[in-house]
Amino acid sequence: MKVVLFCGGYGMRMRNDSSDVIPKPMQMVGPRPLIWHVMRYYAHFGHKDFILCLGYGAEHIKNYFLEYEEAASNDFVLRDGKVELLHTDISDWSITFADTGVESAIGERLRRVRKHLDGDEYFLANYADVLTDAPMDEIIDKFHASGAAASMLIVPPQSSFHCVDVTESGVVTEIAPVSRMPIWENGGFFVLSNEIFDLLPPGGDLVEDVCGTLAQQGRLFGYKHLGFWKPTDTFKERAELDANYQHGIRPWMVWEAEDKEDVVAPA
């Protein structure tokens, strides 16, 4: 399936200071930016045809891939002044770079890249700023089996805050972590049918306009994931991911075992 990545927002909460102009998907985790980790995740499951919905900071994303350096994250041999790669990351990827506007909402970005889907009945979508170890192949299979028009990954609440039950008179009767509440959050990994465009108005929103309507109709499937899931809405969250990467804690890198076996012979 084609993978639509929304990577054109301002990402204001991610910025370390007001002078930081690097878009959120290009913030680094280890030697590669967030967007690479998201794309590499999908590629692991065989989905290597990407459509990037560009907006703010588009030149950073374009230049990164136009000048992509395979040796940054792959073993190689330097022989007679020539680099012979032992592994490769993106040589079999197809990446469409589409300008969807700086101010566009996510739903509008999706509408503007519809032509690049080539009429495919189903496709994948992602915010390009969340990492997970969720089994995408299983998610897709369960989505098809459900007969729904769209699917979203759902995860337990990630907040460290506590919920408080209180009476009208102000007596607190219970305190419990938000993470223990019987509720689920949108995890940002979508499987969508082409039908969703019928519910998406100009300037609309994917979750509120499309998923909200489908939920009312009983045609939205939620895949419950209790494993690793980490958003990068803030600079702190991105720094935590980078620190874990440096310490070898990389549960989202589901492709690592595959890379150890998939050795590319030097040309």
In a domain, residue 267? The reply is no
In a domain, residue 93? The reply is yes
In a domain, residue 55? The reply is yes
Query: Domain containing 208: what range?
Result: 2-156+183-261
Instruction: Read off the tokens for 253.
Output: 């890198």
Rounded Cα distance between 55 and 234, Å, is: 19
In a domain, residue 171? The reply is no
In a domain, residue 176? The reply is no
Rounded Cα distance between 53 and 104, Å, is: 10
Q: pLDDT tens digit string along 205-223?
A: 999 999 999 999 999 999 9
> Confidence class of residue 14 from pLDDT cuts 50, 70 and 90?
very low
- Looking at residue 40, the DSSP 8-state letter turns out to be H
Instruction: Read off the tokens for 208.
Output: 């509120």
Number of domains comprising the chain: 1
pLDDT for residue 136 is more than 90: yes
Which CATH number fits the domain that encloses residue 207? 3.90.550.10
Determine the residue type at 232. Answer: T
> Confidence class of residue 261 from pLDDT cuts 50, 70 and 90?
low
pLDDT for residue 266 is more than 50: no
pLDDT for residue 133 is more than 80: yes
State the average pLDDT for the chain. Answer: 89
The helix/strand/coil state of 99 is strand
In a domain, residue 174? The reply is no
pLDDT for residue 20 is more than 60: no
Q: pLDDT tens digit string along 35-68?
A: 999 999 999 999 999 999 999 999 999 999 999 9
Q: Which of 236, 220, 207, 228 has its CA nearest to residue 150?
A: 220
Rounded Cα distance between 206 and 175, Å, is: 34
> Confidence class of residue 267 from pLDDT cuts 50, 70 and 90?
very low
Residue with tokens 């909402």: 105
pLDDT for residue 179 is more than 80: no
* Distances in whole angstroms, Cα of residue 12 to Cα of each of 19, 24, 161, 222, 233: 11, 8, 22, 29, 9
In a domain, residue 178? The reply is no
Q: Which of 51, 66, 41, 46 has its CA nearest to residue 5?
A: 51
Strand partners, 166: 172
Q: pLDDT tens digit string along 83-98?
A: 888 888 898 999 999 9
In a domain, residue 166? The reply is no
